Structure 1
Amino acid sequence: MMMLSCGALLVTFMLSVVTGFLNPDDNNVPEEWLLLHVVQGHIGAGNYSYLRLNHDGRIVLHMQSLKGDADLYVSDKTLRPSFDTYQLQSVTCGQDVVVVPGEFARPVGIGIYGHPSHKESEFEMRVFYDQTIPQDPFEKGSYASEDVQKQKKAPHAAEQDFQEEESVLWTILIGLLKIILEILF
């Protein structure tokens, strides 16, 4: 009986994995991701199509090559990124995913390249805003996480933070020792 239920669980798991691979349009994205745009287009072999991203925060680009092979290049240094000048890329033969950090300067340039192995490529790109990054209510227009804020501080800031934590720890420890000594004497 136990063997049968384990076998059934294994078959169910394998079927879910296989259907996920067979159905590429089924984007299993987290509920916290907000769909901002859906961009569809065609691109000729060896050519680029350029888009501009102005949204703040952490943005996730999901691009599916529906026909041919479209590749994705992203940069906050140039509005016309290519395979020579980019900061982020995804060059698979199917689904391309790039996560644009919230720290990238806006506007961000997006280059879609039609791979020369196909005369024409057709793509669909979904642009998501990742709401899982907590927003600092005290910093206007920022979607950066607490860790990123710490990284933006001066190099000596980490040492100061450590000293402050150590100072608080010593204050608590000395206070506890005083209470114990008062009780004993």
Structure 2
Amino acid sequence: MIFVLVFVFGILANVLTINCQFVSNQNGELDAGNWSYYKYTQKYQFRLVLESLNGDCDLYASDKVPYVDYSNYDLQSITYGNDEILIESSMRRPIYVSVYAHPYYANCKYNLRQYREENEYNSYKEHSESLKHDDDDDKQEVKLDTKNDEESEDKENFFWWLFINLIEILAEVIL
């Protein structure tokens, strides 16, 4: 039964995954209780993945505070192991990010990777913005893209419906 659950969730995760493109990599080393600071100016949506290679590092981000800490942040990920945060394209730029070395460990090493997240909505949005200044003939292309966007939204809604129904069925079987 558990194997079936893992298999179904694995398939759904692959179907609903957004395309990612590697952008940058930062390696660092911190003593206990210290911070490293980064600034990102890219306007697109991206994901930051912090991998603690030695010790435990935490990830904080803000679009307001240049020196983000555990009391002033907009986004955080403070798990043991890999930490991830998604920076939406709607957030103000620049994005300030800090990595904190947990005081329990004398020395922490980390790898901070940035991935550009590309989904169909963002692709359509960028494409339509580039067409704003084109001739009236190009407006037909935008209408065609809108249909494709609606079709992909229908597919996404179907997968969410399927996912929710599978969860309900599994809950009934377990209970």
Match of 1:27 in 2: none
Identity between Structure 1 and Structure 2 (%): 27
Give, in angstroms, the shift of residue 134 of structure 1: 3.0
Moved runs in structure 1, 4+ residues, more than 6 A? none
* 1:93-104 → structure 2 map (5 Å cutoff): 93-104=80-91
The one-character-per-residue Cα deviations of 1:69-99 (angstroms, maximum 9, x if unpaired) are 1100000012211101000000011010000
CA–CA separation in structure 2 for the residues paired with 1:60 and 1:54: 13
One-letter code aligned to 1:96: D
Match of 1:38 in 2: 25
Structure 1 vs Structure 2 CA RMSD: 2.5
CA–CA separation in structure 2 for the residues paired with 1:139 and 1:83: 37
CA–CA separation in structure 2 for the residues paired with 1:119 and 1:47: 10
Q: Is 1:139 aligned to residue 129 of structure 2? A: yes
Q: Is 1:84 aligned to residue 74 of structure 2? A: no
Q: Which runs of 5+ in 1 are unaligned?
A: 1-5, 18-29, 141-145, 147-185
Give, in angstroms, the shift of residue 60 of structure 1: 0.4
Q: Which runs of 5+ in 2 are unaligned?
A: 11-16, 131-145, 147-175
Pick the structure with more helix per residue: 2
Greater RCO between the two (CA within 8 Å, min separation 6)?
A: 2
The one-character-per-residue Cα deviations of 1:80-124 (angstroms, maximum 9, x if unpaired) are 111010000000110100001111111100010011011111111
CA–CA separation in structure 1 for the residues paired with 2:128 and 2:51: 38
- Using the size of structure 2 for normalisation, the TM-score is 0.61
CA–CA separation in structure 2 for the residues paired with 1:72 and 1:113: 7
